[in-house]
Amino acid sequence: MSKAKAAPPPGCTLDIKDPQVQEAAIRIQASYRGHRSRKELRETGPPKFLQELKDVVLLEGSAAKLECRVSAFPDPFIVWSKDGAELKDGPKYRYVFEDPDVVALVVRDGVLADLGKYTVTIKNTFGMTSGSACILIEVPAKVTKGPDSVKAKKGTTVVLKADIGGEPAPDVGWLKDGEDIEEDDRVFFDVGDANTILTIKNAQRSDAGKYEIYVENNFGTDQSFAHVDIL
């Protein structure tokens, strides 16, 4: 004689026609498929990029993050380098691993020296891959050391020098008494990577006055002044 099955306790039954139950079932299936897909990707062996590194812009004094997505199983060994030199995980460069497959490098306290090509090398027992991207630095134009005031004798050569910086490299101009200097064979200026030099040959008393060095790029402007006296 068969026994009647006991009814389930209240609240323990599911109505498969209930829209909420159906929606929950769809979410569970999607989650399982996603987990299975990730697992299958991790079982491919050699490391491979799911998303490559991209160039980033670093503002002076701030932080930048280079990141990519990687598939690798077993878990890989990861090394970051800059212009061929390995970077150690520490206060300046921070290795970041974000679940499930994001690998990143954070560069802190940005300075002009951080400009360059960064490479991540990823390897495990099945193989190796690497990718690169650049950090671009934005530094406001600046006169880091202004020209010194000068007293010179008539007929001598006067040289005014200023140290400058900025990224991208700034536009440079020299002014006398508020007016742009018109260059010629006697009065001219040169612009280098880190400085600019104004030369005045065969100085005349009319060359005496207030000189200004002016620098400008997309992120800022700066200027400095000096006086020239001709005796």
pLDDT band at residue 31, thresholds of 50, 70 and 90? very low
> Using CA atoms, how far apart are residues 226 and 186, in angstroms rounded to an integer?
19
Return the pLDDT at 100: 77
Return the pLDDT at 98: 84
> Using CA atoms, how far apart are residues 218 and 231, in angstroms rounded to an integer?
40
Residues 6 or more apart whose CB falls under 8 angstroms from that of 204 comprise 154, 230
Return the pLDDT at 27: 54
Return the pLDDT at 72: 87
**CATH architecture of the domain with range 139-230:** Sandwich (2.60)
In this model, does residue 56 exceed pLDDT 50? yes
Return the pLDDT at 36: 42
Return the pLDDT at 37: 47
pLDDT band at residue 172, thresholds of 50, 70 and 90? very high
In this model, does residue 143 exceed pLDDT 90? yes
CATH of segment(s) 19-33+40-136: 2.60.40.10
Return the pLDDT at 34: 44
16-20, 114-118, 171-175: segment of lowest average pLDDT: 16-20
139-230 has the same fold as 19-33+40-136: yes
The token pair that represents 41 in the structure block = 């990707």
Return the pLDDT at 178: 95
Best mean pLDDT range from 9-18, 39-48, 73-82: 73-82
> Among residues of the chain, what percentage have pLDDT more than 90?
69
pTM value? 0.61
Residues 6 or more apart whose CB falls under 8 angstroms from that of 106 comprise 63, 64, 65, 93, 94, 96
Residues 6 or more apart whose CB falls under 8 angstroms from that of 195 comprise 161, 162, 163, 164
Return the pLDDT at 59: 85
Return the pLDDT at 28: 47
Return the pLDDT at 22: 52
In this model, does residue 149 exceed pLDDT 90? yes
The 10s digit of each residue's pLDDT in 95-136 is 999 877 899 999 999 988 999 999 999 999 999 999 999 999
In this model, does residue 71 exceed pLDDT 80? yes
> Using CA atoms, how far apart are residues 42 and 72, in angstroms rounded to an integer?
5
Could you tell me the residue ranges of all domains in the chain?
19-33+40-136, 139-230
Distance of CA 31 to the CA centre of its chain: 36
In this model, does residue 207 exceed pLDDT 50? yes
> Using CA atoms, how far apart are residues 41 and 172, in angstroms rounded to an integer?
54
Q: Which amino acid is at 127?
A: G
In this model, does residue 159 exceed pLDDT 50? yes
Mean pLDDT, the chain, integer: 87
